[in-house]
Each structure stands twice: as C-alpha cells, then as structure tokens.
Amino acid sequence: MTKQIWLNLPVKDIAKAKDFFWKIGFSFNEQHDTPNSTCMVVGERHFVVMLFEESVFAGFSQNSIADTNSSSEVLISIDAESREEVDELAQKVQDAGGTVFAAPAESQGWMYGFGFADLDGHRWNVLFMDFSKLS
C-alpha cells in the first residue's frame, strides 16, 4: 500500500529556508526544486521534507497556515548520534538564525536533546537516546 511518507512545510522564503537548513547540515535533492519549493532529505533513509512557499502550501492544504508565533502545528523529532552532535547542532541552529527554545539538556536519565524553531517557526526536537540507560 504505502511506499513512502514525506512531510510538507510552508515557508515564507524558499531561498532563506534552504540556506538555514543547509547551514545546520541538511541536504537537498535539487532535481525536485522549483521556484516555489525545495526537497530536503533527512537522515540515512532520506526522509523527504518538502518546503513550499506559503501560497503554494495553502493551495495544497486548502486551509489557512498555522501562526507559528502563537501555536505549533507539529513537533518534528530527529535523532542524533551523540551528545556532542546535539550540542553542535544547537550551536549551528543559533549561528544560522534559528531559535533554540529548549537548551541542550538531559531528560529522563537516558535522553539528551534540545528544541529549536526554524526561520518559519516550525518546531524541531533533536534527541540522542542512550538505550543502555533505559530502565
């Protein structure tokens, strides 16, 4: 039935969004780029995150776009390979103009992570999970 799943996100400016995510280490499949969209790939399995200009996204969804200044439409979680990678990514996010809303910290004794908002206010959660400490 289902072969693949991907995420579609609205952005105000494709070029700025692409530059932000490039600076923090994400890659792109540019053969799928258009003037109003870009195809970001995440992780080893190349999970696709399509970034669409807001007007295009609104046309697809046939709905208004969430105001990310006052609410969250989704929390996107990604894993990290180490605590150091969490810290490095948090610094890259700040350097690229994103907002760290939850500084890197330990959680529940076996997770270490942080939360950030991209340039369009979409919220991301980055976690290193040390399953050897899971009780």
Can you tell me the mean pLDDT for 19-24?
97
Only one residue has tokens 């870009």, namely: 38
pLDDT grade for 3, boundaries at 50, 70 and 90: confident
Whether residue 64 is contained in a domain is answered as yes
pLDDT grade for 5, boundaries at 50, 70 and 90: confident
Whether residue 1 is contained in a domain is answered as no
pLDDT for residue 2 is more than 80: no
Q: CATH number of the domain that 87 lies in?
A: 3.10.180.10
Position 99 scores a pLDDT of: 98
Domain assignment of residue 120, given as a range: 6-133
Residue 98's contacts (CB-CB under 8 Å, 6 or more residues apart) are 20, 24, 116, 117, 118, 119
Number of domains in the chain: 1
Structure token pair of residue 21: 């995510």
